[in-house]
Chain A
């Protein structure tokens, strides 16, 4: 009966729509805006909103992508800067630590009445064997270094020059070497003996101390000077344990005062070793190298 798809139907719809628009153009909403404006504005606003959200989405997507790229580059730059700063910080810390050590070394040099010369540790023993503990210092015969001279660090005795030094280098046998020894005594009770290097922990032991001597853990052990190499009164370490041995002597373990793993600067005592004391010189214990 009523087929809106025919030409008359389309015309009817067109005429009705035109008149609806005409009415809308004359009627105002409660806010005073014409209905056609409100409707068209609302419809356009929806279209605009969809378009705007689409454009904004694409823009945000692009912006995020660009920012991510920028963030990645920035992240790499910051990581590089951080690595450089960490390296610089380590350099500064090392410099500060070295300065501190040099200050300590300088203080030791000034406090020591003996002639000394500062030397830089330039390497270890290239042919190290078990129990052999040697380092190489950057001073030699050109600086007055001779074999047998004592080497010290701010915290205590390090060792002695062994072998024939070169003009600008010398080998130093550390006190913890299994073939090294030094005359020593406890600071508190003045119990004398000989400190030798051993392959245990702690790496020093004090031998030839009578069972009758008063030695306790915590006692400070210093050089006695009877060996003719090490000047008297410099720290060797601290007693960690002191127990009666099977014979006449105590078994005394000593923790070294010097950290032998972080030696950088040392002092070489420019005093040639003198012959070790004889039995007549007393005390009974000799501290020369074994």
Chain B
């Protein structure tokens, strides 16, 4: 699979996403992507600057993005985090995006679009 660098705007389009936080920098380039609901796992293998796909809408997903230096979080399956989670993300300038599609569907779409998986 040929990989290429995709930016946030393109990703939001591909996954039918809705921005939950304040307007992010849409031209932010996303070098890679990972899907996980386990934060310890995300902390361990996500590269700084990458995109996290998750169904975990708890504030821990935002904290994980903060500690690991992630570019943004996509919440799958139409899940929306609580308002205090969104404000925390705004404070930390971490964009949160909600997508109606399931994790499987989103991975399929982004992978087909050429997004690089976060791998060793």
Q: Indicate, yes or no, whether A interacts with B.
A: no
